[in-house]
Structure 1
Amino acid sequence: MRKLYLSVAALTLAAASASAAGRMNPSDQRRITKAREHIVPAVAKEFGPKARFVHLFGQGANMLAGVVAEIPEQPVATDDVPLLAIVQYDETNGAVRVVDREFKYREARAVGRSVALLDGQGNLRLREPNGRERLLAQKVGGDLFPTAKGDALVATLVGDGEGHETSVGFIDLNGRVKVLADGPGIDATPSISPDGKTVVFVSGRTSVASFFVTTVEGAAPRQLTNIGLESHMLFGGAPEGFVPPPVSSHHMEWVGNDVLRYNAGGGEFWKLNVRTGQAAPDLGGEK
């Protein structure tokens, strides 16, 4: 299971490395700096001086952060990826509170007033505001992204070993799972539009990590970016017209129902029109 998480990440990270990263929108830099100023001392107080927060999930008042007990001194093996405790960070006022102090999670995401928690075995549970917790789905690979209404989420699902490695699924709060896209290789990193109709994801089915679009009804996926490119064309640098994939679903946000803004690596954010496939770096301006 842990090897699968890393293989999904490798799809996006390998292609993103071809991007001319290193540029960051000043407003994004301020958000990151502000988050560190609030989260770092809170984590040290709650978990001890060796603990570090290593992931941010979501935005705004419902942003969550993943915390490791300590940073390993040596690079970890594939099967030894540290699991996370979870805290909530409110971007609006800087408040930090512990959601779960056990180091057993791969990801977490706010879904409405509840929190979806994905453990190291691929079990996705929903913790409600009253503390009640229930199993939503199993064989979930990660990339949790909730609907704007907070009534469902999309995620990467793990294959059963007989078909494709991963697929993109829609999971409602009753635990019903619907596969939306399941192509050769890896389909991952889904995100759903604010109107709850459009699902964008990254696929390696053409040998180059590219954006595809489908619907919550599971329409045939349509390629949006890097059309006509093949993996050998990336040797020596990104070719003209290459659109880097996101580094994860946790650094995605929608600018209306048609435009997705995402982190392409190195702090460089891009904007993608999910109707036309047009994409470009988002280099400046206030957010």
Structure 2
Amino acid sequence: MRKQFLTLTVLMLATASAAADRMNPADLRRVTKAREHIIPAVAKEFGPRARFVHLFGQGKGMLAGVVAEVPAEPLGTDDVPLLAIVQYDEDTGAVRVVDREFKYREARTVGRDVALLDGEGNLRLREANGRERLLAQGVGGDLFPTAKGDALVATLIMDGQHAHETSVGLIDLKGRVKVLADGPGVDATPSISPDGRTVVFVSGRTTVASFYVTTVDGGAPRQLTNVGLDSTMLFGGPPKGFVPPPVSSHHMEWVSEDVLRYNAGGGEFWKLNVRTGEAAPDLGGEK
């Protein structure tokens, strides 16, 4: 589970040239601009061995994770490189250091504050005035803040006999945690709609990673994609109608109250209507 949902996937920024032929032109411009500003800033602030390997979020509040150096050997299942965190303003290109210590899994902007998840699953909130406080423990990752910046959804790690399972929860800024989805196996990669009512997540409860939808009130989850498919149908390649899951929650954005846009890997973005389940690649045109 840790490898599937916690290991940092090197963002398409590192492989943009290979995927450029499949990318929306607007996405390619964003990737190129990010590289041009973040790479030299990271080298200046952290030294020539440091590399930025992940972006968290979109726009002015975008954060980037930095490793001290790229490991010479492939990492094991539970070996996740810890990150320092910088902030990248997509509009101006400005880069500033948020935390120089290499001790984080993820980070997201929440309103004017920054949520920081360390390697032990402790989620802390660093307020704009510099004060920091513990929000929650046992957090697996996949942080996604509400549009209002008053809470965030995340993947939670189960304890005890269900240690290899995860659930999806809502964490408010007072540290209260509410479990929204806890089916058999892994529920993860949540995102919350702009109106703060609808939560979309990915589950493998049918043996095929599929999108599900629920509400912040914890209504019974409804399967949106890959309905009727099971893992045996994927042998030999994805069948007709298969909708790929997102590579992470960090490259999801809502283009309307009902439509979620997400990175499906390989440089490709998809759009998903969370009311109807209709999904399709978003490969061209302006964003």
Equivalent pairs, count: 276
Q: Deviations over 1:16-75 (max 9, x none)?
A: xxxxx8611010011000000000000000000000000000000000000000001111
RMSD: 1.5
Q: Which runs of 4+ in 1 moved over 4 A?
A: none
Q: Residue 227 of structure 1 aligns with which residue? A: 227
TM-score where L is the length of structure 1: 0.94
Q: Report whether the alignment pairs 1:250 with 2:247.
A: no
Partners of 2:36 and 2:47 in 1: CA distance: 16
| Whole-angstrom CA distance in 2 between matches of 1:9 and 1:204 | 16
Moved more, 78-87 or 45-54: 78-87
- Secondary structure of the 2:161 match is coil
Q: How much has 1:80 moved relative to structure 2?
A: 2.6
Instruction: Tell me the equivalent position of 2:240.
Output: 240
Aligned to 1:265: 265
Q: Deviations over 1:127-166 (max 9, x none)?
A: 0011000000000000000000000000000001323710
Aligned partners of 1:108, 1:236: CA distance in 2, in Å?
37
- Aligned-partner Cα distance in 2 for 1:80–1:251: 23
- Cα separation, 2, equivalents of 1:126 and 1:8: 22
Residues of 2 paired with 1:9 and 1:50: CA distance? Answer: 23
**Cα distance 1:32–1:255, how it changes in 2: closer, same or farther (>3 A)?**
same
**Equivalences for residues 3-82 of structure 1 within 5 A:** 4-8=1-5, 23-82=22-81
Contact 2:37 2:94 in 1 (8 A): yes
Tell me the residue number matched to 1:187. 187
Structure 2 Cα separation of the partners of residues 77 and 283 of structure 1:
34
Q: Distance in 1 between matches of 2:39 and 2:80?
A: 21
CA shift, 1:5, in A, is 2.8
Corresponding residue for residue 282 of structure 1: 282
Q: Give the TM-score taking structure 2 as reference length.
A: 0.94
Secondary structure of the 2:133 match is: strand
Is the CA contact 1:106–1:142 (under 8 Å) kept in the aligned structure 2? Answer: yes
Q: Hey, what does 2:135 align to over in structure 1?
A: 136
* Per-residue Cα deviation, 1:193-213 (whole angstroms, up to 9, x for no partner): 000000000000000000000
Give distance in 2, aligned partners of 1:8 and 1:112: 25
Q: Higher relative contact order by CA 8 Å / sep ≥ 6: 1 or 2?
A: 1
How much does 1:9 deviate?
5.6
Q: Which amino acid aligns with 1:186?
A: V
